[in-house]
Structure 1
């Protein structure tokens, strides 16, 4: 069936119930009609527990069908849904549940929390499979990672209209940004769905009539096997995944047919230019990139050929967005001058739940800053430098860790790297690189000399690490973000 004129998942499922919706982590297949029936039952079940428009439901769930059911069920009865990272400690989960005022919590068997429902079966039991009455769009409320304090919920005003009235705006937007269109496509979930981008792309896929293939966790060879087996046409990944797949032996990489890929979208962290070039040499010009944050959503985007013409850019402002670069005094800077990035969207604003002061502190009038430093070129393309909080000032000169990390990651002996600034009485900060050697590589003075020589033609000498130390592993989130704050705290505690 041609679904291009149908306004999203609920309409597609009603019109084409036999269409394949989800292939779960264990290979179980669920049709659009079956998924809609369970979604409707859970919507009725939530209403039966007294939840009304604007109330909050939380999910502490592994990747799988239940995570999708909760997003789509809350999304048609005006509820806020809070996905929670199940790697958090019990006290961290308890904090979020209390802060968001969750009235119902759904968990997986291995992620159970006191008072939580195990799976969606209990909510669905005995409930009708037809659509609930008075349907109105809900929203996902994401909790920020909390690297500078307790995490806060990023809350947007509910639209007050049924999903079919607003879904076309979002499918149009994602189509403009990454060329995704309705049809018989296959989307691969590669990351935990308690993070915003993987969750949003699974949701987009269903609203476009695609089939969603879910992985429980990222494994580089398994991803290639799934792409070949299911003829995956689009996926959302992060740069760390590219790096790990490029580390596979040539005979393993050549074993799988990835020619079905048309859009591989990446975000969450800066992608080294060399890594992105190698992936496109392998997969073809299929990498679409966007930059934003939980608060700003997709603020900048770049398509493959535009990136190839301007390597390193994260793109121009996405539709409805404006951008500017400002200095410490809040004055706008000209092209080429690095400063703090600010964006403004026509799609609406956000607030931090229960924290108007934090909301106000993040804004400059109508403009919001994700906290990153970058510059715009003369054509309005953004180039990132680094997080403001990770900036190293050594001898009065600004040094961006991401640039040094990108250079070191080009060396085949480096599996992962974190660059931090360490206080120094003379220089202010020294550059320290903590390197995770590739498998089979022995750390030591010889490797250190080799890495410093490798940096020579790639970055200016004042950016070279003063110290290179070796670690068996570096802390990254499941979506691939490097936690430099944790690395820095651990390093300083050892001094």
Structure 2
């Protein structure tokens, strides 16, 4: 199961459809473009294990890059489109990328990147000049390169807790590009994706992120048609499900919150009957939010917990989740271990650092210290999340270790407060952080995006305090509410809490 095989057996079957523009690429066309791009990589001196970078908005060319790299044995480095020029330059240098594929959407940052990386080769999609990506492809043959081998993606963490970390995957067990990969088993046996080529898969998130990239790749290995949103819009996503008769999809909790804030008349306007499986992950989903989604979409809302590192995965289907609300499931890849501060495993129901035991583990590129920090003495690896396992083996997430607030000597996990806030009917989004405090060490601050900024102020603050009071201990109640029209959130759902913490730390020093 691989796009190469689907191109041979069903060359005219749509491989990708861009939801907004309607632009399509068949498996035959994608195979030709991937072969040409593999030749481009070799022509620019990229041998197996060499790195190239991608700075692109969601556009159809992404898949020629993915599958061209996958058969050239190279490391593709997708870069977040939200990053600044210095952050992008850091990733380019750290990864050793010899080539960058980008578009004119990033001309503003590219001016500084070119100055900072003068030897970098650049190819521009949608350009007809000397750096034209299309011209570079057209100049190459559409047949396979002579030395095909499996490539990989080297993803960089979002930088929410510091400088991005390059996650260098373990070498593939089989270098054949068409060899079966373990993730495909998780997609079919775990997520239930069909293997008969009938799947129509909706991807609403940025393709540079780990989850969309992995699930889209798995779907195309299975012969699916991908429908890609150029940018997430809640009503637009519902319209796409109806228009393209979507069967499978992948989301983050922020998407669900946006859906549920829609006017009921809009939510019920679209025919979603084709929709059979809806995966979600990236952050703990507030229990009331997920319950509402299951009531609306039916028992098709399935959840998993994993990370860009690929060290393990849990999964829970909707029916089981309803019996264990709040869980992210049982391990289906890797073995779970929950450990206390001393490194010893803790009992059922007790919070600790979540580790996965796995035979294949990644490393953090050029950073042995970060790799060592993520490792348990017994060879297990952590993503830095805190949680517990119940007596039945179901994992429950508490929060990120790096997000924990220590106020007056008490450990406070912001996720609990955020999950409550976003269920309020006047709140669109919320972030809870610890800000410096001379008495408590840190104070709890709630940064809230109201649905209507005109309603922000003392009255809304009091309403939110009254709303939280029955569910929160007094020590957890935010000392400060800060209302803003937008939070620094990635389109993939990741919240840039570091930006908020840095802002409040700087204010404390004024």
Tell me the TM-score range normalised by the shorter chain: over 0.9
Determine whether 1:295 maps to 2:309.
yes
Query: Contact 2:53 / 2:77 at 8 angstroms: preserved in 1?
Result: yes
> Which has the larger displacement, 483-492 or 51-60?
483-492
Take 2:227 and 2:365, find their aligned partners in 1: how far apart are those partners?
Answer: 33
Query: Contact 1:10 / 1:36 at 8 angstroms: preserved in 2?
Result: yes
Query: Contact 1:235 / 1:265 at 8 angstroms: preserved in 2?
Result: yes
Correspondence for 2:118: none
* Aligned counterpart for 2:201 among listed residues 187, 212, 219: 187
Query: Contact 1:322 / 1:343 at 8 angstroms: preserved in 2?
Result: yes
Take 1:440 and 1:468, find their aligned partners in 2: how far apart are those partners?
Answer: 13
Take 1:410 and 1:335, find their aligned partners in 2: how far apart are those partners?
Answer: 29
> Which has the larger displacement, 272-281 or 284-293?
284-293
Determine whether 1:351 maps to 2:346.
no
- Cα deviation for residue 94 of structure 1 reads 1.6
Residue deviations 1:328-347, cap 9 Å, x none?
1111111111111111223x
Determine whether 1:90 maps to 2:96.
no
Correspondence for 1:439: 452
Correspondence for 2:72: 77
Q: TM-score, normalised by structure 2?
A: 0.91
> Which has the larger displacement, 397-406 or 128-137?
128-137
Correspondence for 1:53: 48
Q: What secondary structure, in the 3-state scheme, does the structure 1 residue paired with 2:180 have?
A: helix
Residue deviations 1:186-209, cap 9 Å, x none?
111111111111111111111111
Correspondence for 2:17: 23
Take 1:157 and 1:370, find their aligned partners in 2: how far apart are those partners?
Answer: 16
Residue deviations 1:148-194, cap 9 Å, x none?
43322111233252122233x33112222211122211111111111
Correspondence for 1:10: 4
Take 1:208 and 1:470, find their aligned partners in 2: how far apart are those partners?
Answer: 45
Query: Contact 1:288 / 1:303 at 8 angstroms: preserved in 2?
Result: yes
Structure 1 residues 46 and 474, CA, compared in 2 at 3 Å: closer, same or farther?
Answer: same
- Cα deviation for residue 54 of structure 1 reads 1.2
Q: TM-score, normalised by structure 1?
A: 0.94
Take 1:208 and 1:94, find their aligned partners in 2: how far apart are those partners?
Answer: 36
- Cα deviation for residue 298 of structure 1 reads 4.7
Query: Contact 1:296 / 1:343 at 8 angstroms: preserved in 2?
Result: no
Structure 1 residues 396 and 150, CA, compared in 2 at 3 Å: closer, same or farther?
Answer: closer
Residue deviations 1:6-52, cap 9 Å, x none?
x2211111111111111124211211111111111111222223321
> Which has the larger displacement, 348-357 or 329-338?
348-357
Unaligned 5+ runs, structure 1: 1-6
Q: What secondary structure, in the 3-state scheme, does the structure 1 residue paired with 2:71 have?
A: coil
Q: What secondary structure, in the 3-state scheme, does the structure 2 residue paired with 1:318 have?
A: strand
Correspondence for 2:222: 208
Q: What secondary structure, in the 3-state scheme, does the structure 1 residue paired with 2:492 have?
A: coil
Q: What secondary structure, in the 3-state scheme, does the structure 2 residue paired with 1:65 have?
A: coil
Correspondence for 1:471: 484
- Cα deviation for residue 448 of structure 1 reads 2.0
Correspondence for 2:342: 329
Query: Contact 2:315 / 2:332 at 8 angstroms: preserved in 1?
Result: yes
Take 1:372 and 1:222, find their aligned partners in 2: how far apart are those partners?
Answer: 33
- Cα deviation for residue 68 of structure 1 reads 1.1
- Cα deviation for residue 267 of structure 1 reads 1.3
- Cα deviation for residue 97 of structure 1 reads 1.1
CA RMSD of aligned residues (A): 1.8
- Cα deviation for residue 292 of structure 1 reads 2.0
Correspondence for 2:252: 238
Structure 1 residues 441 and 284, CA, compared in 2 at 3 Å: closer, same or farther?
Answer: farther
Take 2:94 and 2:475, find their aligned partners in 1: how far apart are those partners?
Answer: 45
Query: Contact 1:154 / 1:294 at 8 angstroms: preserved in 2?
Result: yes
Correspondence for 1:413: 426
Correspondence for 2:62: 67
Correspondence for 1:125: 138
Correspondence for 1:252: 266
Correspondence for 1:4: none
Correspondence for 2:293: 279
Query: Contact 1:296 / 1:370 at 8 angstroms: preserved in 2?
Result: no
Query: Contact 2:200 / 2:225 at 8 angstroms: preserved in 1?
Result: yes
> Which has the larger displacement, 445-454 or 418-427?
418-427
- Cα deviation for residue 217 of structure 1 reads 0.7
Query: Contact 2:403 / 2:433 at 8 angstroms: preserved in 1?
Result: yes
Determine whether 1:448 maps to 2:461.
yes
